[in-house]
Chain A
Amino acid sequence: MFFVKTLEHRIDLHPSFFSASAPDFIKEKLYQDVEGTNTGTFMIIAVLQIDDISEPKIAPGTGFAQYNVGYRAMVWRPFRGEVVDGKVTNVVNNGFFADVGGLAVFVSKTMLPPSMKHNAEGSTPSWSEADGMIIERDSQVRLRIKGIRGELGQMYAIGSIREDYLGALLQ
């Protein structure tokens, strides 16, 4: 789920940048440091607005000035139990992988409807039902996130389509 979250970041500015345009350097450094990062629980997509840049404080022992920047960013945070749409990237005989934005979700065989069978032959392996949906690479699926694990920089999730209204979306 996308949120507009208020966050804070500390930036160290080298003395060679102490000039009237220091706030511009701070802004660019903030964009570089924080945008497109994955903290393990959420992903920061883009900085929307910088709320305030604190007064600089020279760190003793170094010449760097420290700024505390308060800003608002669009973040993406997956929740256990949330229903999301994703695009299938890989089909294996144990299930399939789908990308939900920057998160790779694995849906295992046990979380597919029991009527789905794996077809390994042909150039595109797929999971399909006798008279119903086909899931193969590049299909769009609606899945429920069952579990999320995060470590700094990476998130892993497992999902399920074993419920009503989940599974391949008509395109």
Chain B
Amino acid sequence: MAGPPNPPAARSTVPHPLSRRRPPPTGDEETTSILRLGEYTDVPCLSVSEANTILQKVIEARNKPDESGRKPPGMPSSDVFTKTEIYLKLFARFNGEQAVQQVESVSSKLVGPGGITGFERAQLGTLCCDTVEEARTLIPSLEGKVSDDDLQQVLDDISKLRDFS
């Protein structure tokens, strides 16, 4: 093979790593007045209601018996899964696929360059604020992003779709 000759091997007792280590999280991710999401920067976000709808569908599909009649794979029984499932059912403010989709389209109007990010859109759908002041306090990164009128309009639209049962 072409290339420079290898330097004389140094005496080392540590074996050569065989696989690339997972890149460690930088540790400075935060969602305060600036959004620093690290490797989650362009990853699609889901509000609690959206995640609940999707999870319910996955559970339904997974518990249906296979075409060949084999036992359905079912869902994991771990703590993480059961706690998350209960949490989503408890805190989902919009029930029903239609309501969730309407909330998504209403809040997506503010997303885009010069507007809010996907993360903030999902936060609005999760927290269901009543006033612009509340939204800007709970989501500090909204500072300076959209006009108060546009934001209040979206909050009102979201409140209308809320299910108070």
A residues with CB within 8 A of B: 1-5, 27-28, 31-32, 35-38, 41, 43, 45-46, 48, 74, 76-77, 79-85, 87, 99-102, 140, 142, 163-166
Contacts and interface: CB of A to CB of B under 8 A. Distances in A.
11 contacts: A3-B46, A4-B43, A31-B76, A36-B81, A45-B81, A74-B54, A83-B123, A85-B126, A102-B79, A165-B137, A165-B138
A1 B119 contact: yes
Contacts of B48: 2, 85
Contacts of A101: 80, 83-84, 87-88
Given A3-B40, A166-B138, 11 more contacts: A2-B45, A4-B44, A5-B40, A36-B76, A36-B77, A45-B51, A45-B84, A79-B37, A80-B29, A83-B139, A102-B87
B107 to A, nearest CB: 14
A36 B73 contact: no
B127 interface: yes
Interface in B30-72: 30-32, 37, 40, 43-48, 50-51, 54-55, 58
A1 B75 contact: no
Interface of B: 25, 29-32, 37, 40, 43-48, 50-51, 54-55, 58, 73, 75-81, 83-84, 87-88, 90-91, 119, 122-123, 126-127, 129, 134, 137-140
B31 A81 contact: yes
B32 A46 contact: no
Contact of B80 (A41, A43, A48, A164): A43
A74 B51 contact: yes
B25 A83 contact: no
Nearest to A49: B58
B61 to A, nearest CB: 10
Contact of A87 (B54, B87, B88): B87
Contact of A4 (B46, B84, B127, B137): B46
B138 A5 contact: no
A100 B76 CA distance: 19
A37 B80 contact: yes
Nearest to A102: B80
